A and B are shown apart, each in its own frame.
Chain A
């Protein structure tokens, strides 16, 4: 570790003059955070784990009965749930790939001296700052087959983006790409500007081609920070709810979080939905772990 840990209080400081020990100060900072985490994160997490083994329904007064692994067994055998998972996987792949390609591409374009660079970067970040629900409502209008501007500009007539079962998921993904590419762009831009200039100069002296420079210098050096962007976007895309829920109600866009919402708050199957939430949690943990392992490997290079 490069940073030195402060082990003792400066005897001349105000805290020391009030007679507070190091331990007291440390506790003062840490305990509220720990308490907050325990009350609002860890406790509900464990509580819902308990519920996931029962047939509890929050909408009735009936007591919760312990049913063992029944919820998990039935959920994992439910073909509708598996459809929801495969829809989610497809959505994550399309959406994250799109964001990385667009975001990184725009970052490459911006990574040079151009006039109004700051202003352009800020304007490009705007979609990210909007609320998901607002973006959903706007894009619903943009996609409208009768008066939407997208069909008008592309000359697609009355092409049904959201009512077409095969297209709807891509339409949602396009909206998500529009909204979150700036996030990938921002992180990539930070990574790109940190690449030492002398490496490019050395490559130029060696007469390396631009493709070679990109794959041998730019990409490897930006990779760690790009990986972080991908981890964030994958987790977010995996739990997408608002956009898909607002834009369309096609069964082909029912991602797992929509199914979970319906199960928990429309059907009030509290126990079963807790189990489903745990299945989703484990999946996200597993995927994130793969990425983190890869990230560490990239960093070691």
Chain B
């Protein structure tokens, strides 16, 4: 019996071993399933034409992007040579050794001078201010707003708005104006609603939405260097910002409790809402008449300022990292060398990718290419992001658990929710020995 079992195990081992043959002239990049991934594939096709190296962009839906990527990393799998990973993964992936250290590459090509500073800070560097880099900023992204220009410019609406609020109806400059306009257009009996915001609590949607308010209200999530959270996440500004977000929820279309980018774009294409929060990466679909019947009447504006005049937005976007377990690390580095060239970055922007290259972003050509590029350029220099520590996923889930019932069901108060969150986060940081008390 023993010899039979050994034979069987040997057979299984043989099958597994023969499955890992290496291909030297092929590279695989893993990303989430969305338009920019298609643009990256087009860019990679140009690379193939130039060098003969075939680059495939493999995608998976956003909802299991993180799970799938980390499952592969944890198994030390070589299926992906590069990954265009979310900004908050960088702590977890670099500390565990999943990403190749790109510090040398970064300094050699002076990327911290050619890329927009926020993208270097949040997509590439970990720990913050350490001068260690783990990825090359690839798809810059942040949250902005789209709105129904045709509704805003309707003379009757303009007159009624001015009569009610005492100022002219125009894209909001502050969150207070945003609230007024949302209230003004919220007419459930006409099946028209004020505003579309992020509320999905399964990954980072709701958190990103609330961040937009918190950052513009002058608040922070915590001190990213010392891990201090008490008094910062539950500060007075943050309480006000969260109360504002809760108020905006009252002006959303019915059933708006599990919404992310798809739903928020639908709010505009289906004529449901006057204004809608979304990542810039999803705006191309809104100016395309094939995907948005209201394309002509759609405008865009940057995340408005808070009561103190501060104006920030939640960061999206990703950098490309080389996976430590790849069998084609050298080839991957060559691809990155090609990717960061100014002309490649220009091509990348033309294809629809959001470059992080400063020179391209600042060019007139880029800013006039679409109705939202100017807002994008302005936003990319004032963005902030979530925690990037390895335990970010726990922090995210705790934030969802505390904020969701308050925002969507009005349970408790904003202060209570944020106080509890501060306690949760502090306990988590204590668990991982980042703070002592």
CA distance A195 to B46 in the complex (A): 73
Using known A-B contacts A59-B96, A249-B200, determine if residue A146 contacts B253 with beta carbons closer than 8 Å.
yes
Selected interface stretch from A96-104, A209-217, A263-271, A280-288: A263-271
Additional A-B contacts beyond A158-B254, A160-B255, A268-B70 (20; CB < 8 A): A59-B70, A59-B73, A59-B96, A144-B255, A146-B191, A146-B255, A161-B255, A162-B255, A162-B258, A163-B408, A248-B258, A249-B200, A249-B258, A250-B257, A251-B201, A251-B405, A266-B66, A266-B203, A266-B396, A267-B391
CA distance A27 to B401 in the complex (A): 53
Contacts of B254 in A (CB 8 A): 145-146, 158, 160, 163
Q: Is B397 an interface residue (CB 8 A)?
A: yes
B96 touching A31 by the CB < 8 A rule? no
Binding site for B on A (CB under 8 A): 27, 31, 35, 58-61, 80, 144-146, 158, 160-163, 165, 248-251, 262, 265-269
Residue contacts A-B, CB under 8 angstroms, 14 given: A31-B1, A31-B4, A58-B74, A59-B73, A59-B92, A145-B255, A146-B255, A146-B272, A158-B188, A165-B405, A165-B408, A249-B257, A251-B201, A266-B397
CB distance from B111 to the nearest CB of A (A): 27
CB distance from B73 to the nearest CB of A (A): 7
CA distance A75 to B1 in the complex (A): 43
List B residues 383-428 near A (Cβ within 8 Å): 390-391, 393-394, 396-397, 401, 404-405, 408-409
Q: Across the two chains, which residue of chain B brings its CB closest to A261?
A: B67
CB distance from B138 to the nearest CB of A (A): 23
Q: Across the two chains, which residue of chain A brings its CB closest to B396?
A: A266
Q: Across the two chains, which residue of chain B brings its CB closest to A165?
A: B409
B390 touching A59 by the CB < 8 A rule? yes
CB distance from A273 to the nearest CB of B (A): 12
Contacts of B96 in A (CB 8 A): 59-61
CA distance A158 to B189 in the complex (A): 11
CB distance from A77 to the nearest CB of B (A): 12
Q: Across the two chains, which residue of chain B brings its CB closest to A259?
A: B397
Q: Is B78 an interface residue (CB 8 A)?
A: no
Contacts of A250 in B (CB 8 A): 257-258, 408
CB distance from B254 to the nearest CB of A (A): 4
Total contacting residues, chain B, CB less than 8 A? 38
Contacts of B1 in A (CB 8 A): 27, 31
A267 touching B393 by the CB < 8 A rule? yes
CB distance from B161 to the nearest CB of A (A): 25
User: Which of A27, A31, A146, A268 is within 8 Å of B393, CB to CB?
Assistant: A268
CA distance A80 to B74 in the complex (A): 28
Using known A-B contacts A160-B255, A163-B254, A163-B256, determine if residue A249 contacts B202 with beta carbons closer than 8 Å.
yes
CB distance from B416 to the nearest CB of A (A): 14
B74 touching A158 by the CB < 8 A rule? no
Contacts of A58 in B (CB 8 A): 74
CA distance A142 to B396 in the complex (A): 31
CB distance from B14 to the nearest CB of A (A): 16
Q: Is B117 an interface residue (CB 8 A)?
A: no
Q: Across the two chains, which residue of chain A brings its CB closest to B71?
A: A265
A249 touching B201 by the CB < 8 A rule? yes
Contacts of B394 in A (CB 8 A): 267, 269
CA distance A63 to B73 in the complex (A): 16
- Which of A31, A58, A162, A163 gathers most chain B CB within 10 Å? A163
CA distance A138 to B71 in the complex (A): 29
B95 touching A60 by the CB < 8 A rule? yes
Contacts of A59 in B (CB 8 A): 70, 73-74, 92, 96, 390
CA distance A249 to B5 in the complex (A): 46
Contacts of A160 in B (CB 8 A): 254-255, 257
CB distance from A34 to the nearest CB of B (A): 10
B67 touching A266 by the CB < 8 A rule? yes
Contacts of A265 in B (CB 8 A): 67, 70-71
Q: Across the two chains, which residue of chain B brings its CB closest to A60?
A: B96
CB distance from B208 to the nearest CB of A (A): 15
The 8 closest A-B pairs by CB, nearest first: A163-B257, A145-B255, A158-B254, A145-B254, A163-B255, A267-B393, A60-B96, A58-B74
Contacts of A158 in B (CB 8 A): 188, 254-255
Contacts of A161 in B (CB 8 A): 255
Using an 8 Å CB-CB cutoff, how does the interface string of B1-40 with A read, 1 for contact, 0 for none? 1001100100000000000000000000000000000000
Contacts of A145 in B (CB 8 A): 254-255
CA distance A80 to B67 in the complex (A): 22
Q: Across the two chains, which residue of chain B brings its CB closest to A148?
A: B255
CA distance A60 to B94 in the complex (A): 10
A60 touching B390 by the CB < 8 A rule? yes
CB distance from A144 to the nearest CB of B (A): 7
- Which of B5, B73, B74, B390 gathers most chain A CB within 10 Å? B74
CA distance A248 to B67 in the complex (A): 19
CA distance A197 to B74 in the complex (A): 62
Contacts of B401 in A (CB 8 A): 80, 251
Contacts of A163 in B (CB 8 A): 254-258, 408
CA distance A37 to B272 in the complex (A): 54
Using an 8 Å CB-CB cutoff, how does the interface string of B187-221 with A read, 1 for contact, 0 for none? 01001000000001111000000000000000000
